[in-house]
């Protein structure tokens, strides 16, 4: 009777202790600063913060998983991926901040 109680307690402790060792619990749970457009077909995406994400998923369900080093540190500090929507927004932002041109009057001819 004591042996069976001991074995049950040991098994319960082992199960609860092992759950903390799973890779899913230790992996970075971050998401991109902004998601790429639905038309983006690349396998790797770098968000505006410079962090790298890899496309994963099954049957059209796309998940962006952070790319990590062997020591499970997320890779960051890269040049952001340029997408069509980012390119379309950039010229609009530049024209909005450009100062308006002023036309100077033509010099008067003195005779």
15-30: average pLDDT: 56
* pLDDT confidence of residue 3: 60
Whole-angstrom distance, CA of residue 64 vs CA of residue 30: 9
When pLDDT is cut at 50, 70 and 90, the band that residue 47 belongs to is very high
50-56: average pLDDT: 94
Q: Which two tokens stand for residue 74?
A: 């997320």
Residue-wise pLDDT for 85-102, tens only, equals 555 555 555 555 555 555
* pLDDT confidence of residue 10: 73
């Amino acid at each position: 009777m004591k042996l069976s109680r001991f074995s049950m307690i040991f098994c319960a402790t082992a199960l609860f202790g092992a759950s903390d060792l799973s890779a899913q619990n230790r992996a970075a749970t971050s998401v991109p600063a902004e998601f790429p457009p639905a038309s983006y077909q690349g396998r790797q995406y770098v968000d505006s913060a410079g962090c790298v994400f890899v496309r994963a998923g099954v049957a059209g369900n796309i998940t962006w998983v952070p790319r990590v080093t062997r020591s499970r540190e997320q890779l960051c500090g890269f040049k952001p991926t340029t997408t069509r929507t980012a390119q379309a927004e950039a010229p609009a932002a530049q024209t909005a901040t450009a100062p308006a041109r002023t036309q100077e009057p033509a010099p008067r001819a003195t005779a």
